[in-house]
């Protein structure tokens, strides 16, 4: 990952995490999501089955803040970012997510919050997942805030 031509984060084998933070998110959601990502069995074992987690493979994380994940395109021609957290909240929870992963022993590299970043990815396999903390979909459907 580069910002203004300078490398700000780089990993080998591991995961690229595009992290969006919603207005309804709190530390519990950041912790749940970090734990979920680190424990997902999505890497191949010696038999070729998706059976190993990032922790088991010793892989790293490259975490990129990405408020545009909360872009709602259902109405009109311009995305609405009303569900995305304000920058102060998003930065705090982004940093909390990163610290949670580091506390579990994972090497984590990051970009620069709110900067224009260029991300290079070599996708080793067809796995791309969307992970949402509990309550996200229910809150969106009802219009109520997600559980803290």
**Segments of the chain assigned E as strands:** 2-3, 6-7, 14-19, 43-44, 50-52, 60-65, 108-110
Q: Tell me if residue 97 is catalytic.
A: no
Q: Tell me if residue 113 is catalytic.
A: no
> Distance (Å, rounded) from C-alpha 76 to C-alpha 104?
43
Q: Tell me if residue 122 is catalytic.
A: no
Per the residue annotation, which of 24, 29, 66, 110 is the catalytic one?
Answer: 66
> Distance (Å, rounded) from C-alpha 54 to C-alpha 40?
7
Per the residue annotation, which of 43, 67, 97, 110 is the catalytic one?
Answer: 67
pLDDT per position as a tens digit, 17-40: 999 999 999 999 999 999 999 999
Task: Report yes or no: 17 and 62 within 8 Å, Cβ to Cβ.
Answer: yes
Spans of all domains in the chain: 2-141
State both tokens at 97. 């997510």
For 2-141, which CATH class? alpha beta
Q: Report how far Cα 94 is from the mean position of its chain's Cα atoms.
A: 8
pLDDT per position as a tens digit, 79-138: 999 999 999 999 999 999 999 999 999 999 998 888 888 988 888 877 889 999 886 554
Task: Report yes or no: 110 and 63 within 8 Å, Cβ to Cβ.
Answer: yes
Record the pTM.
0.86
């Amino acid at each position: 990952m580069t910002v203004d031509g300078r490398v700000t984060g780089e990993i080998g084998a591991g995961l690229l995490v595009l992290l969006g933070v919603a207005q309804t998110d709190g530390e519990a959601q950041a912790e749940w999501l970090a734990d979920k990502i680190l424990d997902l069995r999505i890497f191949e074992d010696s038999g070729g089955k998706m059976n190993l987690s990032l922790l088991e493979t010793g892989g790293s994380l490259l975490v990129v803040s990405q408020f545009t994940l909360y872009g709602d395109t259902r109405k009109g021609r311009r995305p609405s970012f009303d569900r995305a957290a304000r920058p102060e909240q998003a930065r705090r929870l982004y940093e909390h997510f990163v610290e949670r992963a580091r506390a579990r022993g994972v090497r984590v590299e990051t970009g620069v919050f709110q900067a224009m970043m260029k991300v290079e990815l070599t996708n080793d396999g067809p796995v791309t997942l969307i992970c949402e903390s509990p309550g996200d979909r229910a809150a969106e459907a009802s219009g109520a805030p997600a559980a803290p």
